[in-house]
Structures are given as C-alpha cells and as structure tokens.
Amino acid sequence: WYTMVPASLYLGFTASIIWVGQGTYLTSAALSHARDNSLPDGPTLGSFNGEFWGVFASTQVIGNLISLALLRNGKDGGSITGKNLLFVVFLGCMIIGIVLMCLLSKRDEKRDNASTHSSFGAMLKYIVAPLKDRRMILLIPLIAYSGLQQAFVWAVFTKSIVTPVLGISGVGGAMAIYGASDVVCSLVAGRFTSGLHSATFIVSVGAIVQAVVLFWLLLFYSPVEGLLGAAIPLFIGALWGVGDGVLNTQLSALLGLLFEDVKEAAFAQLKVWQSGAIAVIFFLSPSITLQAMLILMAASLVVSFGLFLLLTLVVEKPSSIRA
C-alpha cells in the first residue's frame, strides 16, 4: 500500500502530461496535413483520430493475449516468473514508444505562444479559458460520461458481469472482444467524421447502443448457465466497445474543431473531467450495488447526451465549422 499510493499519484501525474500532449499534437498534425494538402479540416481530424484510437484500442486485444500467453495456469517462465516477463515485455514496448516519439516532427503553429506563457497568471488564464465558452460547458457532461463508461467496463463489468459467469480466467477474453469492437468502431467512426453534424449522428449511435445495454442489464439481465450464458458477457463487451470507440474519436475530433486556438487547454479539460469521472467509479464500485451503478450510468448518459444535442441544435451553427 505504501508503494502503490505514491506510484498511483506519479502515474496519474505523468499520464496527464502524455494525454494532453497526445491530443494537442494529433490535432496540430491533422490540421497542418489538411492545410498542406488542401483537405477539409473535419474529415482529416476524423481520420487521424479514428486511426489513432483504433490502434490504441487494439492494445486491449494484444495486451490481453500477451497476458494470457505469459500468465496462463500461473506457470513460471523459466528462471523468472511469468509476471516479471510480462513487465519486461511492456517495458520494452514503452522504450520503443519513447524512441519513436523522439522522431516526431515539430508542428508549425501560426499563433504566438509567448504572450500565453509569459507568466503563471497568463498561463492559468489560458488554461481556464475554455470554461468560459458555453460550448465547452455543454460538452463537459459527455466528456465526463466517456470517463464513467471506461471505468464501468474496467471496474464493474469485469467484476459483476464477466467473472460470475466466465470466472477470472474469462476476463481477458471478454476484454479482448471489447477491444476488437473498439478498434473497428474507432476506425469506422473516424472515416465518417466530417464536422459537428456527422459527429452528432455518430455519437447518437454509440449512445443508443450503450443505453440499450444499460437498460437491458438493469431490467432484464440475470446470469444463465450454458453456452448462451457464456456468450452474453462477450456480446455485451462487444456492444460496449462500440460506444467507447465512438466517444473517443468524436470527442477528440470535436475539441480540435471547436477549440483550435486553445487546443492545449481544451485537451487539458478533457483529461480533467474524464479522469475525475473514472475516479468516481472506482471509489463508488466497492460501496454500491450493480443496480445502483447501472442507474447512475443510465442517468449520466441521458443527461450528457441531452446536453450534447443542445450543443448541436442551439449553440453551434453549421457555418461556424469548416467541414
């Protein structure tokens, strides 16, 4: 415990830097690519985000298969344990990623950041600037829900739905199917993104799919035996991956389109609300029942999706975004 708490704080701090940098760089790369090749901003942002999140989601499949291969039956891998070998493999992946990151080209920005970062006060003002924009206020609930639904599948779905039916050994397979669905939907959603209205349709599909899953779990689900009982958690995982793939690609693309001038601050807000929502689920999951968690998730989805539709219908006019 005394090592896990500092490690968790350290990982949370460093992950926030990585994710804000990722969102900012990907948006800059997409927009500069669009301008260099005379392409529309919306579809280019959608394609870049779809491909990134598709590859990212593929780690759900690859990582679980690697873990399954190294940890199956609890056998040791020669002179070192399977667990230690697993950490060595992941560490190698991280080193390769760091080397590749060092090879990224610098993105040319048209605006001057000198005045923005001239003092701590100026930088703080820049960071909170999106909160003064009602578009961000209407988008924050959906950002928070995206964090809730990610934590739900990690903390609640695996524990309360997969494990009672498939056992702990079945969690890896269920998460691999979830990841595969996430990959496909990320790539498809990215390809069909062109602006706010296409994003609204795509988000609507993902929200409806997750709403159906939540209300079915709340009203009709009960564990059953046999092949059907084993297939149901896998099917739920696949459907949940649809919503996750949609939300990841569309939120990132929308922030890049709506807040191009304050990208860093916008993606900082994304991680603040998303991470806060994830923490809420992990804090609550040991203390409340599955039924209560499903009600919380369903209410959050309805409210966040309603406010997102308000953003589409009332605030943002089609002409304000270059499709």
If one compares 71 and 114, the residue with the highest pLDDT of the two is 71
What stretches of the chain show up as alpha helix (H) in DSSP?
4-36, 41-71, 82-102, 120-128, 134-151, 163-166, 171-192, 196-219, 226-258, 263-284, 290-310
Q: What pLDDT is stored for residue 169 in this prediction?
A: 72
**CA 44, CA 31: separation in Å to the nearest integer?**
7
Contacts of 170 (CB under 8 A, 6+ apart): 162, 163, 230, 233
Average model confidence (pLDDT) across the chain: 85
pLDDT at residue number 100:
92
pLDDT at 52 (0 to 100): 92
Residue entry with tokens 């609507």 = 204
Structure letter (DSSP) for residue 106? P
pLDDT tens digit string along 242-254?
A: 999 999 999 988 8
Residues 6+ apart with CB under 8 A from 265: 126, 127, 128, 129, 130, 259
Q: What is the mean pLDDT of residues 111-128?
A: 64
The single-letter code of the amino acid at 290 is: L
Q: Residue 278 carries which side chain, given as an amino acid letter?
A: I
Longest CA span, the chain: 65
In sequence order, what are the beta bridge partners of 80? Answer: 77
Determine the Cα angle at 234 with ends 296 and 160, to 5°: 40
Give the pLDDT confidence score for residue 108 in this predicted structure.
59
Residue 319 has pLDDT above 50, yes or no: no
More confident residue, 320 or 315: 315
Which of 131-135, 198-202, 223-227 is most confident? Answer: 198-202
Please tell me the distance from the alpha carbon of residue 210 to that of residue 203, in angstroms, as a whole number: 11
What DSSP line would sit under 113-138, residue for residue? -TTTTSSHHHHHHHHHGGGGSHHHHH
Q: For residue 291, which of 218, 206, 186, 208 has the smallest C-alpha distance?
A: 218
Q: Tell me, what's the pLDDT at 226? A: 77
| Complete DSSP assignment for 242-281 | HHHHHHHHHHHHHHHHHTGGGHHHHHHHHHHHHHHHHHHH
Of 233, 194, 195, nearest in space to 217 by CA = 233
Task: Go through the domains of the chain in sequence order and give each one's CATH number.
Answer: 10-69+132-316 (1.20.1250)
Pick from 2-6, 122-126, 257-261 the range whose average pLDDT is largest.
Answer: 2-6
**Angle, CA 305 vertex, CA 301 and CA 310 arms, to 5°:** 155
Could you report the per-residue pLDDT of 134-193, keeping only the tens digit for each? 889 999 999 999 999 999 998 899 888 988 888 877 888 888 899 999 999 999 988 888
- pLDDT above 50 for 221: yes
- Which residue, among 218, 186, 223, has the nearest Cα to 202 in the 3D structure? 186
**pLDDT at residue 6 greater than cutoff 80:** yes
Of 308, 33, 263, 311, give the one whose Cα is nearest residue 144: 308
User: What is the percent of the chain where pLDDT is above 90?
Assistant: 34
Cα of 25 vs its chain's centroid, Å: 17
pLDDT in the model for residue 320: 47
Q: What is the pLDDT of residues 61-111, one digit of tens each?
A: 888 788 777 776 554 444 467 778 888 888 999 999 999 989 988 765 555
Within a 10 A sphere around the Cβ of 130, how many other Cβ atoms? 23
Handedness of CA 285, 291, 292, 297 (dihedral sign): positive
pLDDT at 118: 58
